[in-house]
Amino acid sequence: MDSIDNQILNILSDKIWHKRASIRKSLTANITDRDLRHRVELLIKENSYAVSSSERGYKLITTEREYKEAEIYFKKKIYSMFNRINKLREALNKLPLELQFK
C-alpha cells in the first residue's frame, strides 16, 4: 500500500460519503476517476478494507449496520444487472436468426 492509498483511507476514515471528485482533489497526486476506482477496489480485495460504493460516492464501512446497508445495495445492483441481461436476451431472441449470431 502506497502513500496515495493511505491518503484515500485517511479521507474515507471520517465516516461520511465522499464523491470521487472530492477525493481526487484532496489527494497530493493527480489521478483519474478510473485510477481512483482501481485503488479503492484494491483496498477492498487485497487489503480487506470494507468500503461502500454507491451513487453517493465512497465510505469506509465501520459498523454492522453500514455493512448491512452495503449488502442490500449490492443485492439490488446484482438483481438489476440480471434483469438487464434477461431483457437483452429477450431482445436478441426477437432478432432474425441471421442477425443473432453475427
Q: How high is the pLDDT of residue 76? A: 92
Q: What is the mean pLDDT of the chain?
A: 87
Give the pLDDT mean for 8-18: 87
pTM (predicted TM-score): 0.62
Using pLDDT thresholds of 50, 70 and 90, give the confidence band for residue 101: low
Mean pLDDT, residues 87-101 taken together? 83
Rg (CA), the chain: 18
C-alpha–C-alpha distance, residues 3 and 84, integer Å: 39
Q: Tell me if residue 26 falls in helix, strand or coil.
A: helix
Give the Cα separation of 102 and 93 in Å (integer). 13
Interval 25-60: pLDDT, tens: 888 888 888 999 899 998 888 888 888 887 788 888
Would you say residue 87 has pLDDT above 80?
Answer: yes
Per-residue cell: 86: 434477461
For residue 75, pLDDT beyond 70: yes
Distance CA 11, CA 18 (A): 8
